[in-house]
A and B are shown apart, each in its own frame.
Chain A
């Protein structure tokens, strides 16, 4: 790093710090030290630092255009043969992701001002969002597995706190717990991988790791078992972060948290997880073919399973959150097939469009105080901006009209058709199901006659409408952005036939979505087969039950067993020895006669024996 670098570049490490400083700045209001003027100043301070982060980010991009990609590195901790460093890679891709994170955070914070208008602990919310944003901007910039892990764990913590924001509600309690523990399982597995890599490869810089992994694979430095375990450990962390089967349940439950946080979680947090996986892939791929296969399988199951489960949800937020799982499954397939460019485009298209969908969801929830699809309907004419947001957002995550999703799907399909026709089928089928779901929700919300809860449904307030409409425009512009980011070979680099196939799957989805019966109160089917399928999907393949049976109950049983050992064997033995000595003493007490003669006799015998012993020793 030379001193000649422009200042914004040299101080890029400040960008994550802005987010964290937002948290610190909010503390006086969040903790109630300052009560006089309400919690709003904390929100404004956070907006300010986030704005600074966005501006700083764009300055850095300008400079990187001028001087080319840069690498910043700082020593953090060095001991013996261990050298932990913090590294930032200022490549255009990373910076684009950074801008996505910071600007989405900014938009969400404005939105939250409207959505959480009457929330008494607004300051705490903004403190957590600041923490969230700081961790995410660090993750996307990081060039170093150690730093990435460090920040991913912070994301886990802040997700836990954000999901648990309304901690007095019973569902929130379990949701926060599950979010933390699921991610933590992934994180601990990832940590095992990180520790192993730190010990084997030395440096944890991604670039050094790539070199090491290629070398290790060539020379067989790592045994097949160790390599496979390492690969599985490394992918487990992102799997948890991206809510992939079987670690997907938390995202559904996390919908109990405030909606502005859900926007971030469904758009940029999952993106962070996927980006870490993207960076890890060149380490995983050479060492462990099995892990790559697992990625593809998990991606496929998540893509199809998530899309199917989404179809059966009557909760507005959940209907879309499963869509996130599904879409990220597609990203996993792209990453597993080593198509990082397409994976990034998929993430960009998804991040913006999904955020828009969730903003629309928030708008409806804020207006109607209801998120049950069976009780919503007929608001198409009353909330035009929201309707537009739903339509554009829905189009953005599917491949129906030529918005972001379409071009990504086309590019991906073009790669898949010759080599993996089955996976191409997965993409098309997922697109079909996702489109069907979007149409189903649209019909349910906006079509039909107004229901009791939607009779008085004005458009949301301007603080929510402004970010929503701006984002709508942005999503419409996504193809242009993508074209700019990825000019070679261009986003339309696929044959017409592929485009037609993608469009056809979208149209089929529309058809299915129109034919699906609308969710209404008591709309369960009378046919037993349909009912079984409906329940299976509505209850998410009974995943909570599976968790309970396979993980929770055994762990609890083992814990109880250990407690039993502790109480009965260990403590029992200790207490038993104590009781034994007491009772022996009680018994011996009775041998004391109180007669002086016998004591004297004992003493004399004792002395004689002692003398005899001394004599014997001396002789010996």
Chain B
């Protein structure tokens, strides 16, 4: 019942919010949401507590027939691959709710959608049935589309539509692949059974896997399917960006590991070299495109494109260490990108701009945002893979696990890691170092020489979620065994699937 609780709490909470008597102030609604999410986080921790890290396979399973005719079962389970992501989901949704302070319209629906997304994502991570996964995967789409298109920036309609169309195509491809699997194998059993694809000829395996890869590749996103992401991020409000980058992109990588690698091990092994190259291209493309950005949020968005490429590289290499690295990278990217978006959000709220051509000297101790700036330095260093923080150990595991299998792609991805330092250092140097300014220089020396910029101070409660995230980043970087212990058995088992001689059919 534990896992169902993880679905029930957000879904029921969402209903509660919608049915709450009218007249509740946005603050009251926010508070209710936060309480519900705290309960969800607590329950997720209970799940961690009752999870046995030493055991392979799905745990805490729940299985009920739902629509047997089409093979849709209500089957939930959790393993070392999904458990960290469930935790990240609970934590980051909570962060998103906490940092929602200045909601201007329809707070009730906003918070209800937030909870709905969290529940749907939990469902997707926990589903043991392909159709059930697909249902949740699609369910998360509409609330997010609303969050962008109602509470977004000026160009939100364009961005939201683009997001909707891209992700809908992704959903269609995934559903197609799942149905194709049933069609080709002639069964309507959509339960997650690793050996299902073995009965298929290689040609149909490759077709199905290809559809899955493109479908999840849109979600991750991989170059050149990434076009929706920068727009969605730029137009979405800060909490939505946190959720999008921190949690929703992980649906793509999770799906790729769970349904790509695990269902089609043979075809995966065939495609792996191409996937590794694809990953390297994605990493380099994302990093280089980030260098040329002048909007802070777009820069962070492109960095996401680059950093999610590491997960594909690790998945392609498919060794125990690299797959563990993939889980680490998912978690650390979730924390770090959430932190980055959060801080960019604070800068935007205080200065009214995210333009790197305009912002200068924000570290200024009395008039600027010194504490936000310091946290920003922590965040960019973590993202650039400085040791002692989560980014380093994740990248190290990914590279160490992949270098023997794909040396060239790994080395190229490491170059991408170096480029991360370039663009994020440019960000810090441009926006935070130098003399404080938040308007473009007018050319008039006297005018520009005035020091009358005074940014509103950042209240401790505004930076508190950022501090918590930064603490998480450092904690994971210093004590990586905390996560390693949970995931190691699962990732090793996953790597073993492909290592087995599968030529029995």
A contact set with B: CB distance below 8 Å: 31-32, 76-82, 120-121, 149-151, 153-154, 156-157, 161, 164, 167-168, 170, 172-173, 176-177, 180-181, 184-185, 188, 191-192, 195-196, 198-200, 555-556, 558-560, 562-563, 566, 569-571, 574, 578
Contacts and interface: CB of A to CB of B under 8 A. Distances in A.
Nearest to B225: A570
Q: What is the interface of chain B mostly: helix, strand, loop, or mixed?
A: helix
Contacts of B411: 192
B415 interface: yes
Contact of A80 (B320, B370, B426): B320
Contacts of B377: 161
A557 to B, nearest CB: 10
A32 B463 CA distance: 15
A161 B428 CA distance: 11
Contacts of B426: 177
B214 interface: no
A77 B481 contact: yes
B433 A188 contact: no
A556 B291 CA distance: 8
Contact of B324 (A80, A120, A149, A185): A80
A192 to B, nearest CB: 6
Q: Which 7 A-B pairs have the closest CB atoms?
A: A80-B320, A559-B291, A563-B292, A188-B418, A150-B387, A562-B288, A559-B292
Contacts, number: 137
A210 B404 CA distance: 21
Given A31-B374, A562-B288, A562-B289, A79 B320 contact: yes
Interface string B400-429: 110110000011001101100110011001
29 contacts: A31-B370, A31-B371, A31-B374, A77-B481, A77-B484, A79-B488, A80-B320, A80-B492, A82-B321, A82-B400, A82-B401, A150-B388, A153-B386, A167-B433, A168-B363, A177-B425, A177-B426, A177-B429, A184-B384, A184-B421, A185-B418, A192-B414, A195-B399, A555-B288, A556-B292, A560-B292, A562-B285, A562-B288, A570-B227
B285 A195 contact: no
B397 interface: yes
Q: What is the interface of chain A mostly: helix, strand, loop, or mixed?
A: helix
Which of A150, A151, A184, A558 has the largest count of B CB atoms less than 10 A from its CB?
A: A184
B213 interface: no
Contacts of B370: 31-32
B224 interface: yes
A77 B480 contact: yes
A559 B411 CA distance: 19
A595 B433 CA distance: 69
B348 interface: no
Given A79-B320, A80-B324, 13 more contacts: A154-B386, A167-B361, A167-B432, A173-B434, A198-B400, A558-B288, A559-B288, A563-B289, A563-B293, A566-B289, A570-B226, A570-B227, A574-B227
Q: How large is the interface on B (under 10, 10 to 19, 20 to 34, 35 or more residues)?
A: 35 or more
Contact of B321 (A79, A167, A184, A571): A79
A124 B371 CA distance: 12
A176 B415 CA distance: 21
A581 B109 CA distance: 32
Contacts of A574: 162, 227
Contacts of B404: 199-200
A570 B434 contact: no
A177 B393 CA distance: 24
Contacts of B165: 578
Contacts of B293: 563
Interface in B206-228: 223-224, 226-227
B365 interface: yes
